[in-house]
Structure formats: structure tokens, C-alpha cells
């Protein structure tokens, strides 16, 4: 099994609704990858995320997590210990009144031995760089720090995959950078599969793969370089492209020969420098 998440013709309708929130989605997420799911409000991206750890189950089609069908009620906890979730509001996902006890919450639910819980909690807090705060109360932390605690809570359960449902939407720029850093670190150095649901283009640009959703369907699914060069297609979906990509596009149109697929400021600066030295 190379895919941690595999959906086959997944459709989903909310109870009492006439329209499909998700329409015939076939998607596979490879183990160890860093995938962004992009879309504007109401595109179904959060609904899809909720299928990844069986909060919702498909109306039609199927969703398999590590080979387990999410409709198998008695394997619910096998699914949830494989795929963890971090939500948008940092305040509403912290249960305990002390950081370390919150990180321990999931492990306690799984019935892990106390010494082992202690070991894994300390480890998880170290990974997200929050070990100095383990005896703090959640309300003493900044938004970014709270999100890192939430990440540690999922990490301590040794989940193979973490789904982030707009984790930075309520954070200031500094908090956003902190959380983004933590996600990259987990993916690169700990082999955690990351699925990032977001509507920030610059965050999606930092992933390995971008899945773009619109009104319940997957409309684009490719590397960020290829997705973000389709500026027209993204615009028609009500999405923006990262600012540097747009800048490079405008430059190109006015005759300056910048290559396609520029996603970061660093890359853009390097390309412009190259052009300038060539001109001299």
C-alpha cells in the first residue's frame, strides 16, 4: 500500500441538502507526501478533509485510509490513530488546562501506559519546539503556539498522516509562519504525510502537490509550478495566484523574459539577478 488515503468516486450530501457537497472525487494521497487542497469557501475542501478520518462517511463511493474503509464503524479508532486532524480555531481543540496534559489526551484515550505517554508527550513537544511551555495554561499562549500544541497532541499519537484544516486562518503572520515551519519539519524530518487544507496561495505553493477544488469537484491536481502557471484557470475559479507568480507573469507580458513556475520571492530574485547579469 503506497497510498495512505484513497478515495474512489466519493460523493457526499449533507442531510437535508439537495446538492452534493462532494461530487465523484477520486484522489490518492501518497505516504510521506505534502499535499495542499486549495479552494475558496464552499468548494468542499473541509468536507473532504472530514472524510479523511471518518468524521463524515461517503454517501456514495468509498474512502480508504491505509486500506481501511471509513464506513467500518468498529475500526473507527484504527483510522483515527492513523490520520490525525488539526483544526482552524486553536482555542476550540485544546481540551486540557495544561499544555502537557493536552498533548497526553489522545494517548490517554488510547489506553497507553503512563510511562510511555510521558515519553511520547515530551518527544512530541520537543518536535514542535514547545517543551519550554509544557506547564503553561493554553490561554497564556499565542495562536501559533496553541496550534503547535494541537499538532503535538496529534503527533504524540504517532499518526502517519495529519490533516490540517485551515490551521493558519485565525493566526497573525508570525503564527502562520510558525505553523507552516512545523508542518514542513514534520513532513521532511519525521516522514509524516501532511494534507493542508488552505485558501492561502503562498502556503499551497510550498507543498509538493496542489489539489484545487471547486463546487465539490477536483478541478486541478498537479505540482504547484504547473498549477500556479494556469493563472487564467485559477482566476475563473475565484482564486488568486501567489503574488510573486503574478508579478513574474506581468513581467513576462511586458516583454521581460522571466521563466514560468516562479513561486517564491527567493526564486524570483534569483531569476531577476540572472537576467540583469546577462544584460550586463
Please state the closest distance from residue 96 (CB atom) to another protein, in A.
5
Which of 19, 92, 254, 277 touches another protein by CB under 8 A? 92
Which of 31, 75, 81, 185 touches another protein by CB under 8 A? 81
Which of 20, 38, 94, 182 touches another protein by CB under 8 A? 94
Which of 55, 233, 250, 256 touches another protein by CB under 8 A? 55
Please state the closest distance from residue 22 (CB atom) to another protein, in A.
18
- 207-246: contacts with another protein (CB under 8 A): none
Q: Using alpha carbons only, what angle is made at residue 206 by residues 32 and 221, rounded to the nearest 5 degrees? A: 70
Q: Which is nearer to another protein, 117 or 182 (CB)?
A: 117
Does position 133 bind another protein by CB under 8 A? no
Residues 161 and 170: their CA atoms lie apart, in Å, by 23
CB under 8 A: which stretch of 25-33, 35-43, 88-96, 123-131 binds another protein? 88-96
* Closest to 160 measured CA to CA, from 191, 129, 189: 191
Residue 116, H or E segment: helix 114-127
E strand spans, 103-205: 161-165, 193-198
Q: Using alpha carbons only, what angle is made at residue 102 by residues 97 and 104, rounded to the nearest 5 degrees? A: 140
Q: Which is nearer to another protein, 110 or 251 (CB)?
A: 110
Residues 152 and 162: their CA atoms lie apart, in Å, by 11
Site string for another protein, 152-171 (x = CB under 8 A): -xx--x--------------
230 SS3 class:
coil
Which residue in the block uniquely carries the three cell numbers 547579469?
277
Q: Are strands 161-165 and 34-38 parallel, antiparallel or unpaired?
A: unpaired
Does position 49 bind another protein by CB under 8 A? no
Does position 104 bind another protein by CB under 8 A? yes
Which of 26, 97, 223, 236 touches another protein by CB under 8 A? 97
Residues 71 and 64: their CA atoms lie apart, in Å, by 9
| Rounded alpha-carbon distances, angstroms, from residue 253 to 58, 229, 258 | 45, 13, 10
Binding stretches for another protein (CB under 8 A): 53, 55, 77, 80-81, 84-85, 87, 89, 91-98, 100-101, 104-114, 117-118, 121, 135-139, 153-154, 157
Amino acid at each position: 500500500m503506497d497510498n495512505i488515503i484513497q478515495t474512489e468516486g466519493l460523493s457526499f450530501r449533507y442531510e437535508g441538502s439537495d446538492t452534493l457537497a462532494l461530487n465523484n472525487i477520486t484522489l490518492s494521497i501518497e505516504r510521506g507526501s505534502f499535499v495542499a487542497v486549495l479552494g475558496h469557501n464552499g468548494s468542499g475542501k473541509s468536507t473532504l478533509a472530514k472524510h479523511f478520518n471518518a468524521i463524515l462517511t461517503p454517501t456514495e463511493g468509498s474512502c480508504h485510509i491505509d486500506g481501511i474503509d471509513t464506513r467500518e464503524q468498529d475500526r473507527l479508532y484504527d483510522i483515527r490513530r492513523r490520520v490525525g486532524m488539526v483544526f482552524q480555531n486553536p482555542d476550540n481543540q485544546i481540551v486540557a488546562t495544561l499544555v502537557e496534559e493536552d498533548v497526553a489526551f489522545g494517548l490517554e484515550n488510547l489506553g497507553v501506559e503512563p510511562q510511555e505517554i510521558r515519553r511520547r508527550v515530551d518527544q512530541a513537544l520537543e518536535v514542535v519546539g514547545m517543551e519550554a511551555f509544557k506547564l503553561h495554561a493554553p490561554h497564556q499562549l499565542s495562536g501559533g503556539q496553541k496550534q503547535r500544541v494541537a499538532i503535538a497532541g496529534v503527533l504524540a499519537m504517532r499518526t502517519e498522516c495529519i490533516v490540517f484544516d485551515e490551521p493558519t486562518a485565525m493566526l497573525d503572520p508570525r503564527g502562520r509562519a510558525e505553523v507552516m515551519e512545523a508542518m514542513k519539519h514534520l513532513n521532511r524530518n519525521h516522514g509524516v504525510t501532511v494534507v493542508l487544507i488552505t485558501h492561502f496561495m503562498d502556503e499551497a505553493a510550498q507543498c509538493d502537490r496542489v489539489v484545487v477544488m471547486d463546487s465539490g469537484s477536483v478541478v486541478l491536481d498537479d505540482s504547484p509550478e504547473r498549477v500556479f502557471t494556469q493563472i487564467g484557470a485559477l482566476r475563473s475559479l475565484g482564486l488568486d495566484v501567489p503574488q510573486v507568480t503574478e508579478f513574474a507573469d506581468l513581467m513576462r507580458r511586458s516583454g521581460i523574459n522571466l521563466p514560468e513556475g516562479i513561486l517564491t520571492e527567493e526564486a524570483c530574485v534569483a531569476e531577476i539577478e540572472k537576467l540583469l547579469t546577462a544584460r550586463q
